[in-house]
Amino acid sequence: YMGTSDSCNLVKAVKALPGMASALSRWWTVLKPTVVLTAWVGVISEYVLDITICWGPSMVPTFNPRGDVVLTDHFMRRFGKYYNAEFKVGDVVVTKSPRDPSIRLCKRIIGLPGDVVFVDPTRSAMRIEVPRGHVWLQGDNVANSTDSRMFGPVPMALLVGRVVARIFPLDQTKWVRSNATPLDVPDS
């Protein structure tokens, strides 16, 4: 049962709807560009390019230990197999840490699936074959890097993207090239 005051309130609410719709329309007109821009930034940073900070001593001399801002290519990781542009030995990559996936690491690919790599060329000639679906990662500063020598082969699914450029500090902006120097370690 609806009383007289309830029906009056209902009539007032229905009469107020056009005004509320107009106010919502005005707000949407103001917010729409922000919503669209936010969506595009999300898509671009997930599927195309992203900005990451690489810091710490493990990639010296390639990067500064106090931190460099780098541009990371995500497109290649997601779609590279369609245009024959996959990861290669020597690429600098950003990866999720195998020990804590909330942490991002910046390392160089030393070995791809099926490659035989030295586990720790600074200490021994022991070798390992990189398993299918994994890569062997190592910091450029071998003396001060936590990498595959500590946590083993890294699943390729943890790779976030390939570092393509250092964009900050501005006076050190440059493209990051893939380079790998083979180690000359005698057979044992």
Residue numbers annotated as active site: 58, 107
Distance CA 101, CA 93 (A): 15
CB 90 within 8 A of CB 72: no
CB 120 within 8 A of CB 110: no
Do the strands 116-118 and 154-155 form a parallel or antiparallel pair, or are they unpaired? unpaired
CA distance readout (Å), 143 to 56, 103, 121, 147, 180: 13, 21, 11, 11, 17
φ, ψ for residue 132 (rounded to 5)?
-55, 135
Residue 96's H or E segment, with its range, is strand 92-96
Helix, coil or strand: residue 19: helix
The token pair that represents 139 in the structure block: 């910091």
